[in-house]
Structure 1
Amino acid sequence: MKIAATTLGETAGDLFAQTLKLGYFLTTVALLAIFVVTLVVQLRSRHYNPFFYWTVILTTSTAGTTVSDFMNRDASGEYLPAGTTSLGWGPQGLGLGYPAGATILVSLLLAVFAVWKLSGLPFALNDIDTFRGEVLFWVAILVSNTLGTSMGDFLSDSSGLGYAGGAALIAGLLAVLLALKYVPSVPNVLLFWVAFVLTRPLGATAGDFLTKPIAKGGLALGTLGSSVVLLVVLVAFMAVTARRQHALQHSFRHALRR
């Protein structure tokens, strides 16, 4: 579900910013506003709701795509669609480049974790049950998804691996993390956060592989069609998760009555 959400975040972010030519700046502002709305809904929920939770994951992924693009890219032909000289209203991008952008985002993520550590609140997902803890969790998710986008775009555009090669590299690293899960001395909380960061560049490279032109190594399926298919897949997973959650709650209430 996380890979589907991050891949959809890449294709949907590119759909708004590039295909619809709203630009990185306007799209970033709009998607960050949508993220805040979905986060408020999630924070006000008293119980775990798969639709609320995964909608926030999706909005952090989509917003992270355009935040990363705005930070790292500019109005040069290297980053704009063919025949396009500008995207939307406002600044076309800060042009920091992937190394500088990644350094800033890594520093921000470490700062979030430092504040989190000093707060004394738990890092384990199942133990996050306070307002402050959940806010720190979602800020870390937003920054990690933005960082993951930068990593994925670097692998796709600048590393020489291409879209498929970058996706294969990240998939291999995730397989290593899966193997480390069975090593008792490696904390599962650490594996969770490393995997959470790495699923974002996998989504970025996979999304680019689906949408970019064949001449650039992609499948040229388009941002709109790819986004629709990925949205259907993610919603289907949400429905399965919600049904499973409902069944567990029903079984628990039945056991209490007995």
Structure 2
Amino acid sequence: MTIATVTAGNSWINKVPEATLLFWIIKMMSTTVGETGADYLAADLHFGLAGTALVTGLLLAGALLCQLRASRYVPPLYWICVVLISIFGTLVTDMLSDLAGVPLALSTAAFSLAMLATFWAWHAREKTLSIAAIDRPRRELFYWTVILFTFALGTAAGDWVAEGLNLGYANSALLFGGLIGLVALARYGFKLNATACFWIAYVLTRPFGASCGDLLSQPGSSGGLGFGTIATSALFLAVIASLVAYLSFTQKRLTAQRT
């Protein structure tokens, strides 16, 4: 975790965490919660896709408003936003495919283009895509917009591979896990650009986490292990809460040592 220094001429410090091992563990689990949580709210609680999207959209808007108004990285607030945007991004794709009949391949292509267009606009205005420089309001707005597209894209791509191509949840998890491993090799073995590797891995963790969530929660008849959405969501949320609490404690201790 990074406690960034204050940017010259700006009262903000970096608003997002460093991409450590804990970051990737929480990120992967949040994607799983996004998949199982959306299924639980929409199907088990009978909110429906539109109702669940409305509720989580309002919660997300409130959380993001608090996040944008904060002057520094606050672990609980940041990860609440990630979990909510994971659920909402999942629902955006599900509504397009289930309610509007948009093919998953088309959704994958559309969200890819939207994400790339946001990257282009971000770099054109700010001259950087680094997560170590989310220290201005406009950069943070670009950051969260890209995050939303990564979750929607990851959902579409994951569902397309697991269901549309009949690969299955376990094989999908192995596929996307292997791709994440290749990205890590490219970064640490061949020293490829850190920012590019980060964002590629960020996209891939969405279908990887979703495949793991479906593998754990779906019944055996559908290719899953049958633990259910409630148990899977509760387990991963408990682990996320514990890790975020640890990050908050560590941040406070480091801040106290520096003062």
For the aligned pair, the TM-score class normalised by the smaller chain equals 0.7 to 0.9
Does structure 1 residue 227 correspond to structure 2 residue 252?
Answer: no
1:166-225 CA-partner distances (Å, limit 9, x unpaired): 001111111111111224551100001001000000111111111111011101111111
2:71 to 24, 46, 53: 46
Q: Is 1:112–1:140's contact at 8 Å kept on the other side of the alignment?
A: yes
1:217-247 CA-partner distances (Å, limit 9, x unpaired): 1011111111111110100110111111112
Does structure 1 residue 6 correspond to structure 2 residue 31?
Answer: yes
1:29-69 CA-partner distances (Å, limit 9, x unpaired): 22122111111111111111110111111111010111110
1:134 to 112, 132, 140: 140
Shift of 1:122: 2.4
Which deviates the most, 128-137 or 203-212?
203-212
- Look up the equivalent residue of 1:14 and give its one-letter code: D
2:61 to 30, 33, 36: 36
Indicate the SS of the match to 2:135: coil
Structure 2 CA distance, aligned partners of 1:193 and 1:207? 21
Structure 1 CA distance, aligned partners of 2:238 and 2:253? 23
1:210 to 211, 216, 219: 216
Indicate the SS of the match to 1:160: coil
Does structure 1 residue 195 correspond to structure 2 residue 201?
Answer: yes
- Look up the equivalent residue of 1:213 and give its one-letter code: P
1:7-26 CA-partner distances (Å, limit 9, x unpaired): 01111011111222211112
- Look up the equivalent residue of 1:168 and give its one-letter code: L
The residue that corresponds to 1:88 in the other structure is none
What's the TM-score, normalizing by structure 1?
0.88
Structure 2: state its 5+ residue gaps. Answer: 1-25
Indicate the SS of the match to 2:59: helix
- Look up the equivalent residue of 1:224 and give its one-letter code: I
- Look up the equivalent residue of 2:85 and give its one-letter code: T
Q: Is 1:122–1:133's contact at 8 Å kept on the other side of the alignment?
A: no
- Look up the equivalent residue of 2:245 and give its one-letter code: A
Structure 1 CA distance, aligned partners of 2:232 and 2:224? 12
Structure 2 CA distance, aligned partners of 1:195 and 1:211? 24
Q: Summarize the Cα distance change of 1:102–1:23 in structure 2 as closer, same or farther, 3 Å threshold.
A: same
What's the TM-score, normalizing by structure 2?
0.87
| Aligned counterparts, 1:52-201, within 5 A | 52-73=77-98, 93-183=99-189, 185-201=191-207
Superposed CA RMSD: 1.2
Indicate the SS of the match to 2:192: coil
2:247 to 224, 229, 241: 241
Indicate the SS of the match to 1:62: helix
2:43 to 18, 32, 44: 18
Q: Which has the larger radius of gyration?
A: 1
Q: Is 2:126–2:139's contact at 8 Å kept on the other side of the alignment?
A: no
Q: Percent identity?
A: 32
- Look up the equivalent residue of 1:142 and give its one-letter code: L
- Look up the equivalent residue of 1:209 and give its one-letter code: L
Q: Which stretches of structure 1, 4 residues or more, deviate above 4 A after TM superposition? A: none
Indicate the SS of the match to 2:53: helix
Structure 1: state its 5+ residue gaps. Answer: 74-92, 254-258
Structure 2 CA distance, aligned partners of 1:115 and 1:144? 16
